[in-house]
Chain A
Amino acid sequence: MDELSRILGSVVANATPLVIASIGETITERVGVINLSLDGSITLAAMLSFVVAYSTGSAAAGLLAGMLAGMLIALLIVVASIELRQDQVAVGFVLTMLAADLAQFLGQNYTRRPGPTFPTVPVPLLAEVPFLGNFLFNHNILIYFSFLLLFATWYVMYRTRWGLALRAVGERPATAFARGTNVNRTRYLYAALGGALVGLAGASYSLAIKAGWANPPVMRGDGWIALAIVIFGGWHPVRVAFGAYLFAGLRILASTIQQTTDFPLVLVNAVPWVLMILTLLMVSSGAVDWLMRFTPRRLRWVVRLLALFGVRGQEETAASRTPGRLRRVLRNFLRSDPPGALGSTFSRE
């Protein structure tokens, strides 16, 4: 039991950068901007955080530098999109490459050195609770922050006027404009916030979860994973966070299997990806109907069962035409359509 608690605790810790980055990206995409630069921004932010913390001796200063870097990259994408009418995906992709290479180059003299980190701060009393203590309340403050972030994002998005404006801008900017929201300003604001969170995710690697800096960087590839998790989570902060924890859990499982058996290493590493592709297939609307067509009649119950788990197939949509409260909440939670205006620019007619 104690062992399990510790394992779960390490899943939570390992998932934290992914949780923060993917929630940041969720906010960005929900307002209609694709920040594709995640893999580069996280790496660069991790490097800068470490170097600044190392030079100043202050982990907090490092954290701030990382957030600033993430925010600047995100703002570059929004400026290119809004002011220069450039494609967000193209700009984001180029920035991914640039930031990652820049991080390796600028950080080459700072590898493998001990620097300041965020220490573990057990929460008084709660950390002593059996099972839950090691699981949730024996971590550093960045991990506690990610819990808070998750709740706050959900609350603001679905329970406040700010959230209505945020979602409307990403979904249908013409409506947002007609209701008096300044579409471009809202995009700048939330893209900057999302970018800062991506930077924070980078800092949380080098200042806490995988402390230090190395060449090649340990977090490379995680940005793409965070982007995939946002899609997997259907742009809903709670589902996105769930995806991040699931992925981190599978990863730890994979590395355990790898240590104890002689199961082929490549296959074990591929498991999370295969699972992610399968899940994406299952949550995308229409996939179930498509699958049903190719499933022999005798096996269709399997697909139906999978569909119950989180999918909107034909049958489900027909039933939800007169939705009850629970069904509506569930449907809103499980919807997997991207924001309607994702990646587009808005201008007044």
Chain B
Amino acid sequence: MSVEVRNIHKRFGPVHANNAISLHFEDGRIYGILGENGAGKSTLMKILSGFYLADSGQILVDGRAVSVASPEGAIRAGIGMLQQDPLDVGPFTVLENFIYGQPGAVRPDWDGARAQFVDLAGRLGFTISPNTLIEDLSIAQRQQLEIIRLLAFGVRLLILDEPTTGISAEQKTILFEALKRLAREDGLTVLFVSHKLEDVLELCDEVAVLRLGRLVGQAHLPVTTNALVAMMFGQELAPASRSDVVLGDSMLEVRELSLTSERVTIQGCNLSVRAGEVIGLAGLDGSGQELLTRAIVGLRRPAAGQVCVGGQDLTGKHYREYLAARVCFGAAGRLEEGLVSGLTLTEHFALVDPEQGAWIDWERARRIASEQIAHYNIYGRPESPIETLSGGNQQRVLMALMAAAPRLLVLEHPTRGLDVESSRWIWEQILARRAEGTAVVFTSADLDEIVTYSDRILVFYAGQISEVPDARRTTVDELGHLIGGQRLTKESVA
């Protein structure tokens, strides 16, 4: 099945999200749809899959114009989309979720559906039990389930929106294998939306690049990363250089720390971080990194052990005392934990301003907000509610809200979901603080990020921690092994 979009336009208020986009997709090929945040790739994909209606333009399937007015209509036309956060129902079982939406009698054929599901899952190399509850699945498994479901509908064009965000390297390999097999053997067309260049290079046959709502380039792979970056940003980015910072006094001392959660247990963790040092925490999601980050900022009470910041024993103390000791924390859930949805930028800045009393000096708050917006290059206005900003801009606000010159800066996934340029900018900010003597601890699912910015790396695997003492001499490959649970040999520790 070949699919073509012709001259698609879509506006959201003043923003021209899709401007005269025409593209052609052949069957059996995997297309990368590249572009930074806000380039219009998600909009185009949502138009193709019936979630949005285009203002004008046509969608043609096998040369015939079709109308895709709803996701259901798109599926009938053979187009299915896997959303970044898969559209399923948490309390359903996998089988219920698989059946829901399929046509059929009021009483579904449970056994038939189960057989079909197991068969499809087996063919794609996915291992999901049909009786599991969706809320017990990982993101990767929910994606797999969604792919199985769409294929059961007979979808011939599969769109995946940022599917590699938040899934492990192993799961990514499984996903890519399945997609390649589907394209090669079944002639499925795959549109892979991403801003991760390495993923696109690894998986795709062709790429289309969008920038500011326009189609700015197409290419057959392989091409160089730099050529793609040039298309995405209109310029080539120089690689970050690591500057040597003189390490200062110890800022964080963790002694024999034990932490338990329902999933993992960490025992006897020792860590010392000096001023100007950057520690990267690597590992699959839920391997214990979050336990440690939350324990060292005072949000999780340790079962045993000690946490000292700047020589002061803060074990078991209230979060306020950690703040007073100049500990800054950027949580993974930006809008859930870091910022307050519904408040404007001005209100956010007023909230953290120690000079503000019970009566807020709005004049001052607005002035500070405007200054910070200019200084941090935030795309938004003092009166914009925070939830209307893009992820990258929210992260900038988070950085702007943090106290100046912290002793310890703890960040969870500081660049998750951000495009290359925003990520680079965020890191400039982090490194500037580090140069002033801040100790930095961060988590990331992006190994390149970990290797690029860390001085030392702690790799978490099911609550066990292995240390990579010199990040400069490690490789993504080596980390990959550690993350997968293969312990370091004696030589490499020494």
Contacts and interface: CB of A to CB of B under 8 A. Distances in A.
Grouping DSSP codes into helix (H, G, I), strand (E, B) and loop, the B interface class, with mixed when no group exceeds half, is loop
Interface stretch (B15-23, B86-94, B250-258, B359-367): B86-94
B100 A168 contact: yes
Contacts of A325: 131
Given A168-B92, A318-B262, A318-B263, A323 B136 contact: yes
Interface string B133-153: 100100000000000000000
Interface in B121-170: 131-133, 136
B455 interface: no
Contacts of B133: 323, 328, 331-332
A160 B107 contact: yes
A297 interface: no
Given A160-B108, A317-B262, A321-B136, A165 B90 contact: no
Contacts of B100: 161, 164-165, 168, 179
A6 interface: no
A161 B108 contact: yes
> Among B91, B104, B133, which residue has the most Cβ atoms of chain A within 10 A?
B91
A270 B96 CA distance: 42
B52 interface: yes
Contacts of A162: 106
Interface string B79-120: 000000001111111001001110011111000000000000
A189 interface: no
Contacts of A181: 101
Interface residues of B, number: 28
Nearest to B53: A348
Interface string A173-186: 01101111100000
Contacts of B89: 167-168, 171-172, 175
Contacts of B104: 161
Interface in B48-94: 51-52, 70-72, 87-93
- Interface range for A: 20 to 34
A6 B132 CA distance: 44
Contact of B91 (A165, A174, A323, A332): A332
A337 B91 contact: yes
A159 B107 CA distance: 7
Contact of B71 (A177, A320, A337): A177
A181 B133 CA distance: 21
A43 B131 CA distance: 43
Contacts of A321: 136, 263
A340 interface: yes
A48 B131 CA distance: 47
A335 B131 CA distance: 16
Contacts of A175: 87-89
A172 B263 contact: no
Contacts of A295: none
Contacts of A331: 133
A318 B108 CA distance: 32
A172 B90 contact: yes
A314 interface: yes
B345 to A, nearest CB: 24
A349 interface: yes
Given A160-B106, A165-B100, A171 B51 contact: no
A162 B51 CA distance: 23
Nearest to B96: A164
A340 B90 contact: yes
A323 B131 contact: yes
Contacts of A315: 262
A158 to B, nearest CB: 9
A287 to B, nearest CB: 15
Nearest to B80: A178
A171 B106 CA distance: 20
Interface in B26-65: 46, 51-52
B400 to A, nearest CB: 29
Contact of B72 (A172, A179, A317, A337): A179
Contacts of A172: 87-90
B90 A180 contact: no
Contacts of B262: 314-315, 317-318
A307 to B, nearest CB: 14
Given A168-B92, A179-B72, A349-B52, A328 B87 contact: no
Contacts of A160: 106-108
Contacts of B46: 349
B92 A164 contact: yes
Contacts of A171: 89-92
A147 to B, nearest CB: 21
A67 B420 CA distance: 60
A340 B87 CA distance: 13
Given A161-B100, A323-B136, A180 B72 contact: yes
B106 A335 contact: no
A160 B100 CA distance: 10
A318 to B, nearest CB: 4
Contacts of A337: 91
Contacts of B106: 160-162
A84 to B, nearest CB: 21
Contact of B70 (A164, A167, A180): A180
Contacts of B99: 161, 164
A20 B263 CA distance: 41
Contacts of A180: 70-72, 101
Nearest to A329: B131
Contacts of B136: 320-321, 323
A311 to B, nearest CB: 14
Interface in A192-228: none
B91 A167 contact: yes
The 7 closest A-B pairs by CB, nearest first: A179-B101, A180-B72, A164-B100, A178-B71, A175-B87, A318-B262, A314-B262
Interface of B: 46, 51-52, 70-72, 87-93, 96, 99-101, 104-108, 131-133, 136, 262-263
Given A167-B91, A323-B136, A340-B90, 8 more contacts: A171-B92, A172-B89, A178-B87, A179-B87, A179-B101, A318-B263, A328-B131, A328-B132
5 contacts: A159-B107, A165-B100, A172-B89, A178-B72, A179-B101
